Amino acid sequence: MKIIQFGKRVVALFGVATMLTNAVPFQTNASEESAIDSKQEEPVDFEKLVLDPETVEMIRKDYLEKMKAENLDYDFIQGCDVSDVDIKQYCGTYNGNEVVVMSMPGFNGATVVTEILIGGHKFVFPDTLDCLYLHKDHQFIPLKNAYEEKLVNDEDLDEIANVFGTAYAYQFTLKYKDVFIKDWFYPNVYMMYRRGFMTGLNDETFGPSQPIVRAQFMVVLNRMAGNPKSTVFDGSRWTDITEDWYKDALYWGIQNKIMTGYSDFNRWGTADVLTREQLATVMYRYAEYRGYDVKKRASLERFEDASSVSGFAKEAVEWAVAEGIITGKDNGTKLDPQGETARAQCAAVIERFAEHYRE
């Protein structure tokens, strides 16, 4: 038996089994990036979440086979049978696949308290990081991998966190002082931060309501593409392409006809605010550059200002609406094509695009 002390609390650890069956509400010194979500429910009793006996038997059998295959030289495990396998926590079934915490004798001894960050949640376990699984097609996929492979989504993850309760699942928060969990754009900004596509104005400010300018947006797209650079290219035509932080991204975008600048000026428009129809147009061209299917179109008739969409942007806006990448403003009644693109709106569009095309 291992003993780990948290402040004035002492928790006896026999592994995952002790932590989840006894539900001792230990606490860790959460960093400034972690906060308890007050909306989360108390831990759900496994006994109240009953799987049918056939499913329980199948999961236990699959887990036994997994453990034996991974521990061929461990005689103790080789001598175990199905009755030695426990589902220590059933967290729910998503798209027909069960999310569970598993345990077996001989693998319950924990040495340290570990944490795993999945999506917008931080799970705390006094055991190895792969103890939380998605059971799919008789295989056990660590939940972190399942989330990254989009086998469970953010809504599923919220429900799983609720099962554990605030003692073992923390809502991950950003360091931006102007982005909060309650904000509609929080998930979008969070994913931009995690994936490194779109950073803040500085370490503490994201600027969700501030407009994004054209040069900033091209830098975001260039990061999404893996930071490619243009080949031999003369950008001297545009007198306002002067800063090193965006030059490579802009030259790459110009060369690949993603965002080419104004046709009748010698200014590219680096500091000009990106309009919403420009956003759709550039995303459309970027999708073509990546080789994605962009044939889908939607009628714009439901939007009050559909006639305001410029001719050059109409096809791109129809595609963006059809794919759900742009949803409209004012409860989906307006497109506001010449309106400014706020940074929060940009984050939402980029995140939807990345989700749809699995960027």
CA distances from 79 to 2, 73, 330, 343 (A): 25, 11, 64, 59
pLDDT for 225-243, tens place per residue?
999 998 877 777 889 999 9
Task: Assess if residue 180 is contained within a domain.
Answer: no
| Residue 162 and residue 203 share a domain | no
Q: Which of 163-177, 211-225, 249-263 has maximum average pLDDT?
A: 211-225
Residue 177 lies in a domain: no
Shared domain check, 236 and 163: no
How do strand 9-13 and strand 34-35 relate by DSSP bridges?
Answer: unpaired
Q: With cut-offs at 50, 70 and 90, classify the pLDDT of residue 99.
A: very high
Q: What's the half-sphere exposure (Cβ side, CA atoms, 13 Å) at 27?
A: 10
Q: Which of 172, 202, 220 is the last residue of a domain?
A: 172
Helices (H), the chain: 16-22, 53-70, 75-78, 143-148, 154-164, 186-195, 214-224, 244-255, 276-290, 314-322, 343-357
In a domain, 319, yes or no: yes
Name the average pLDDT for the chain: 81
- Using a pLDDT cut of 90, give the percent of the chain over it: 53
The β-bridge relationship of strands 114-118 and 34-35 is unpaired
Confirm whether 179 is domain-assigned.
no
Quick one: 218 and 86 in the same domain? no
Residues 193, 252 within the same domain: yes
> What tens digit of pLDDT does each residue of 267-297 get?
899 999 999 999 999 999 999 999 999 999 9
CA dihedral 140, 145, 149, 153 (to 10 degrees): 90
CA dist 71 and 186 (Å) reads 43
* Residue 195 pLDDT: 85
What φ, ψ does residue 193 adopt, rounded to 5°? -65, -45
**Domain boundary pick from 172, 198, 227:** 172
Query: Would you say residue 190 lies in a domain?
Result: yes
Number of domains in the chain: 2
Give first-to-last CA distance, the chain, whole Å: 45
Is the separation of the CB atoms in 165 and 42 below 8 Å?
yes
- Residues with Cβ within 8 Å of 62's Cβ and at least 6 positions away in sequence, in order, are 135, 138, 139, 140
Query: Of the ranges 8-12, 223-227, 243-247, 262-266, which one carries the lowest mean pLDDT score?
Result: 8-12
Domain check: are 123 and 22 in the same one?
Answer: yes
Look at residue 103 and tell me if it is in a domain: yes
Mean pLDDT of 251-265: 88
Q: What is the pLDDT of residue 51?
A: 84
Whether residue 120 is predicted with pLDDT greater than 70 in this model: the reply is: yes
In terms of domains, do 139 and 216 share one? no
Distance, in Å, from the CA atom of 227 to the CA atom of 14, rounded to the nearest integer, reads 47
Q: Which of 110, 141, 172 is the last residue of a domain?
A: 172
Query: Could you tell me if 166 and 36 are in contact, meaning their C-beta atoms sit under 8 angstroms apart?
Result: yes
**In terms of domains, do 298 and 251 share one?**
yes
- Band (12; pLDDT cuts 50, 70, 90): very low
Judgement on whether residues 229 and 318 belong to the same structural domain of the protein: yes
**Per-residue pLDDT at 325:** 96
Give the pLDDT score at 333: 95
- pLDDT band of 164, cuts 50, 70, 90: confident
- 178 belongs to a structural domain: no
Q: What is the pLDDT of residue 66?
A: 93
Query: Bigger pLDDT: 224 or 122?
Result: 224
**72 is in which domain, residue-wise?**
2-172
Mark whether 81 and 204 lie in a shared domain: no
What is the per-residue pLDDT across 199-210, written as a single tens digit (0 to 9) for each? 999 989 999 999
What pTM did the predictor assign? Answer: 0.59
Q: What is the pLDDT of residue 258?
A: 96
> 346 with 236, same domain?
yes
Asked if residue 239 lies in contact with residue 250, where contact means CB atoms within 8 angstroms, the answer is no
The CA-atom distances, in angstroms, between 220 and each of 40, 213, 283, 345 are: 33, 11, 11, 13
Residues 248 and 223 in one domain: yes
The answer to whether residue 15 is domain-embedded is: yes
Same domain, 206 and 343: yes
Q: What is the mean pLDDT of residues 125-153?
A: 85
For the ranges 22-31, 147-156, 166-175, the lowest mean pLDDT is seen at 22-31
d(CA 220, CA 192): 9
Residue 231 region, left (φ>0) first, then alpha (ψ -120 to 50), else beta? beta
pLDDT at 171: 67
